[in-house]
Every structure is written in C-alpha cells, then in structure tokens.
Amino acid sequence: MDAPSPHISFEEYKETAEWLLSQTKLRPVVAIICGSGLGGLADRLEDSVTFKYEDIPRFPTSTVQGHAGKLVFGRLVGHDCVCMQGRFHFYEGYSIHTVSYPVRVFSLLGVKTLIVTNAAGGLNDSYRVGDIMIIKDHINMPGFAGQNPLCGPNDERFGVRFPCMSDAYDRDLRLKLRSTAEAMGVVHFLQEGVYCMVAGPSYETIAECKFMQTLGADAVGMSTVPEVLVARHCGLRVLGVSLITNKVVTDYDSKEKANHEEVLQTTQRQTKLLQDLVCGVLQM
C-alpha cells in the first residue's frame, strides 16, 4: 500500500481502523509497539489474527532488520491487545507523521493504553548492558528542529492543540512494572530514566553522547517519542520501556564501536524477561 501523506486526514485514519475492525472480532484496549528484536511478545497472544503491514490499507511498511512488519491481534493475560511486530522510523525516509500513523489508528480501534518498547544505548555510566529502563521522561531532539508529529492542522477529534507532556509516561504503570520486577526477583536489572530520541540512522558521535549526558539523558535511541506524543494527544496512557543493548562510546581512545548486530544479540538474551514484565503489568 502507499504510505500516508505528511498531513493525514481523520478519514484516512478511520479507513484503516474500520478495515481492521471488519477483519477481526477482537477489540483491543492495549496496544504494544515492539522495538528491535522484541517482536516475540506477539507470539504470546492467544487466538491471534495476523496482518502484514503491506496488506493493511494506508499502512506504512517496516524496512529494518529485526522488525517483522506484522500487526497481530489477540488476547494477552485476559486483555484484547494489538501488537506491532516492527515499527516505523524517521530514518527510513518516512515523515514524522507517518511514523506515528498506527497510534491514531489504535485510538480509533478503542485502545486506551500504549506500551512501547525499544532497544537503546546506555548514556548513564551506572547502566549495564541488559538492563531494562522504565522511561520516566524523554528529550525530543528532532522536535527541537521542528520534527513533531503534532505539527500541522490540529483535529480536535483526536486531541487539543497544545497537549501537556509533563505526565507523558503514566506513573501508575511505571509503579506496576517495578512491582512486577520485585515479585519476579529481577529488580536488579531495572533502571528508571530519561530517554533521548535522535533521528539516526548513524550512531551518535562521542561529542553528541557527552552533550546528551549533560542534558540529563540516561539512554538514547531512534524511535518511541513520536508514538508517545501522538498517544498522549489522543488521551492514551503510556508505558515506555528501553532495553539497554549497548553502552555508548564516550572515550576518544576507545576501540569500541556501536553496531546493530550487538543490539540484536543483547535483545535476544533479555527478550523473555522483558516479555514477562509486560505480561506482569497487564495482570496487575
């Protein structure tokens, strides 16, 4: 299917939502966006119905290794859910509006809660590879350059012109995730911090990493923020989780280099733990 245009009408979102509703009897209240290598969570859905992105009217398609490109409906620990196996990124050449397209569709499906996961580089010196960071706030670097999915005409049917973002990441959901980790005995893997989004696809320079540390960022990645902005604009509750898959390089004498293969390898080791935590939150 053709990708949506930069400024997308309510009717276009509605067309996608109505097509999906006509294809399944499931009515999701939770949407989960899976980051690099984390799409296995969709395999836990019961009574699942799967759609390839290219078969969904007006839906974009994912082009990144580790992103399957499927939308899966099903039941997870008693909740009707829809799960994205693979997301869209600004660096793929999509507009920032297209990147967040599915979230508005989810709101029209009746979704009330968005859980978003990602693979991220650790900026905080105390973080270890394999840690799981609860996102408590974000820094939107592309937004500083005017790349915000809420730019353009505002449709009041989705939300207000100037939405608040000081409460972007739901406090109760964050507490539930921490309680789940404590009950599972894995709280030693848990961190809570600030996620910084950069446009990518190049990894960050040493100077850029030091700059983000100065700003107060704990982890850095190339996704998540556009979806969160649109979700909050639509009134959805948001839980954001980063899997720390590598440590950023901040030493000019270091021979370490960030690479996507390392990201996927770390994700493979910790993906079951992250899935268990998400399921635990939904059970509470």
CA distance 110 to 176: 22
Catalytic residue, chosen from 119, 120, 168, 231, is 119
Catalytic residue, chosen from 138, 222, 231, 233, is 222
Catalytic residue, chosen from 68, 79, 260, 262, is 260
Catalytic residue, chosen from 91, 179, 258, 262, is 91
CA distance 231 to 102: 10
| Residues near 238 by beta carbon (within 8 Å), at least 6 away in sequence | 113, 114, 115, 116, 168, 169, 170, 173, 228, 231, 232
Chain Cα centroid distance, residue 263: 16
Q: Which two tokens stand for residue 86?
A: 């693979």
- Indicate if 119 belongs to the active site: yes
Catalytic residue, chosen from 42, 62, 67, 124, is 67
Q: Are 137 and 201 in contact (CB under 8 A)?
A: no
Catalytic residue, chosen from 62, 107, 118, 246, is 246
Catalytic residue, chosen from 223, 227, 231, 242, is 223
- Indicate if 1 belongs to the active site: no
Catalytic residue, chosen from 13, 17, 36, 197, is 36
Q: Which two tokens stand for residue 39?
A: 């799409």
- Indicate if 124 belongs to the active site: no
- Indicate if 84 belongs to the active site: no
Catalytic residue, chosen from 92, 133, 168, 227, is 92
Catalytic residue, chosen from 31, 53, 62, 89, is 89
CA distance 57 to 208: 39
CA distance 211 to 89: 23
- Indicate if 246 belongs to the active site: yes
- Indicate if 231 belongs to the active site: no
Percent of residues in the chain assigned helix, strand, coil, to nearest 5: 35, 25, 40
CA distance 82 to 93: 25
- Indicate if 36 belongs to the active site: yes
- Indicate if 13 belongs to the active site: no
Chain Cα centroid distance, residue 220: 13
Residue 7, Cβ density class (10 Å: 0-12 exposed, 13-18 middle, ≥19 buried): exposed
Q: Are 281 and 30 in contact (CB under 8 A)?
A: no
- Residues designated as active site: 36, 67, 89, 91-92, 119, 222-223, 246, 260
